Chain A
């Protein structure tokens, strides 16, 4: 099911009751979600990603704008008529019901022509449980399950009605680190097997990058960039996106463009033909540094952390916006330091981005 969000805006009355301020959670959001894909809504907390999810689901109504599932306008449809399955951050399993009863619950609400026979319901529930591999836990209560198992039950409950759209709200945030890795693979597998269009919300960029077919980066209710994860990473539209994606995060510097050349301090690090002379923000990915005696960028070595295959070189540069700059390099490479721990790097051209100093917009070169 293809989902189209058209100029969605969502306003709330401010929590502070005395002021009659209106808080805009989502502003003029338009995206198209292709059928059968796994989409990650990504952004820091409070960016409007959960609100967007709830609007797709129908639990919240947009103040303005339209939502289409396929060709039909579902903007004013109640959630139960949209054919969506929703998995909550805390799973929202009914604590007094067994796993089986939890999964059966949505089916028991079906009315009229959709009504199923008891056997059919049990079949569907068993099928959904098998899909998420919890077939043996059907008679347990939620508090007898681990966090990961509870999540599977929640997914099974969302899938049992064979929804057109599966929505997941922060699916991994309540799991420990080891389970997180395992579960995100699991979500990807389930999504592939069912082919259901899936939208999930996360604040963890690594999580979003690793399993999404497409990510939507949001900030303050406004979409910053939409695209395949690798593409967004390699070609960010603005400073926020560049900073939000990637671990370790991108290094930022105060730079200046003069005569088609990009300077950080006195170091010229790249040719940027056609860019007007102006002060700019420079972002360099940690993997964009190559240690070289005659490199363009200078710095003073602080520390080298060897982490197996890679090593992380921490150094200081006067123009860096943070106290230290972090470069990830192959651990085979020798790092030569001059007197006073001076160190020089060449910069990979495709790992350097420059941004307008005021707007943060990308300046391409």
Chain B
């Protein structure tokens, strides 16, 4: 009796093991195929940037460059003016980040720590603006910065700020989302720390500077990264208001750059080299600072 039972159990477990092996094989095959698809554009971008134009155009594609060439990168730098674009983007990015942090910290502090009449109303109003698509603002903001004020028949020349760095910085300075993010972080700091500081005669500002900010470093880093990435990836607004050579940001420059040679052919390897250069900082940010981005982005649904 016992024996037959044993046999049944072992054959059953054998069948289970087989089905388990099949299941895992299927899972790994599926994941591998998907992984190849996900990674392929990056792979193609990078190897293309090292190919000669002839090799890129070859009828039979090569999956690894036969001759690794670096000229495409120097071509990218000169054709797309990448160095200038990089400087412009860094300049705009850094200044917007610093100013934006100041504004965000002050507002988040007021919302998290101070009590005043109308706080909930103002906060609710700000939160509601997160629902509104940015395109709705863009139209009027475009008019505002180009000096076309309401109820005036002529654009005001002296108020035309198009093709300046200021116009790339100020209209996008306040992000309600960052205020929300930092306020949430501030709210997690126990009330007692504030009360303790008050008993010791600490001013609000000193408390903010010495206690709240050090305790919110990771959110500050998150905001900094998102803001810098914002400048790096900005396209629509800069194209509209500051698309001249002296102020162009990197994404605009990349899209606008012409990689067409004298025969009217696009030099794809050079273009891919430029795209690679633009993508590398994002990769580095992703590899080293992933956790900070994910904190912010998974809460907002915005993409980098």
Interfacial residues, chain A to chain B (CB-CB below 8 A):
57-59, 78-81, 84-86, 88-90, 92, 94-96, 105-106, 109-110, 157, 161
Contact = CB atoms under 8 A, between A and B. Distances in A.
B198 interface: yes
A105 B194 CA distance: 13
- For the complex of A and B, the 8 pairs showing the least CB-CB separation, nearest first, are A80-B201, A92-B192, A106-B200, A92-B196, A88-B192, A96-B214, A109-B201, A86-B199
Contacts of B193: 92, 94
Contact of A59 (B199, B206, B214, B215): B199
A89 B192 CA distance: 9
B190 interface: yes
B127 interface: no
A90 B193 CA distance: 10
B187 interface: no
B87 interface: no
A79 B196 CA distance: 10
Interface SS of chain B: helix, strand, loop or mixed?
A: helix
Nearest to B214: A96
A87 B200 CA distance: 11
Interface residues of B, number: 17
B215 A95 contact: yes
A80 B203 CA distance: 10
B210 to A, nearest CB: 8
A325 B222 CA distance: 63
B198 A105 contact: no
Contacts of A106: 200-201
B200 A109 contact: yes
Given A90-B192, A92-B192, A161 B215 contact: no
Contacts, number: 51
- A interface, over-half SS: loop
B201 A85 contact: no
22 contacts: A57-B199, A58-B199, A59-B195, A59-B199, A79-B198, A80-B199, A80-B200, A81-B201, A86-B195, A86-B199, A88-B196, A92-B190, A92-B196, A94-B211, A96-B211, A96-B215, A105-B210, A109-B200, A109-B203, A109-B206, A110-B201, A161-B200
B202 interface: yes
Interface in B87-131: none
A79 B215 contact: no
Interface in B179-231: 190, 192-193, 195-203, 206, 210-211, 214-215
A80 B200 CA distance: 5
A92 B200 contact: no
A319 to B, nearest CB: 47
A109 B215 CA distance: 20
A59 B195 CA distance: 7
Contacts of A92: 190, 192-193, 195-196
Given A59-B199, A88-B192, A94-B211, 11 more contacts: A80-B202, A84-B199, A85-B199, A86-B195, A88-B196, A90-B192, A95-B215, A96-B211, A96-B214, A105-B210, A157-B196
Interface string B214-256: 1100000000000000000000000000000000000000000
Contacts of A109: 200-203, 206
B15 to A, nearest CB: 52
A279 to B, nearest CB: 48
A107 to B, nearest CB: 9
Nearest to A105: B200
B119 to A, nearest CB: 14
Contacts of B200: 80, 105-106, 109, 161
